[in-house]
Structures are given as structure tokens and as C-alpha cells.
Amino acid sequence: MTGKLVTTSRFPDPDRAFRLMIEARRGLSTEEAAALDARLVLLLANHIGDDAVLAEAIAAAKSALSTG
């Protein structure tokens, strides 16, 4: 399967999605939050299930790091 990375919001309420991610970290240590993030990334990558889309997402995320 080869798709294309969708970068526009697909959430009916993007703010709610953001709050869910923030709330998931509430009360966690820095290490626990990093572990949560890693598990979440792996779960969502598996859900995507497309190496090409995953590679595109990785490239986009890394690019954002260098542009700030």
C-alpha cells in the first residue's frame, strides 16, 4: 500500500485532540512522558501501516525541527 501523508487536520475538533494529548502527559515525569510518546508513535505508525507514508511523516517531522 502506498498512500500520501495528509497534513491537513482530519479532526472535527482539533483543539480537543490536542487537549487529549496534553492531558495524557499530566502528572507524568519527563521520562514517563517520553515513554508514553514512544508508545503512542509506535501504535500510530502501526495504524498507518504504510512505510511510504511513515517515511514521509518522519521527514516532515525532522524538517520542522530544523526550521523551528
Q: What is the pTM of this model?
A: 0.80
Task: Tell me if 14 sits within 8 A of 63, measured CB to CB.
Answer: no
Q: How far apart are CA 30 and CA 33, in angstroms?
A: 5
Q: How long, in residues, is the chain?
A: 68
Domain ranges of the chain: 14-67
Q: What is the pLDDT of residues 3-62, one digit of tens each?
A: 899 999 999 999 999 999 999 999 999 999 999 999 999 999 999 999 999 999 999 999
Q: For residue 54, what are the CA distances in angstroms to 5, 20, 45?
A: 8, 22, 7
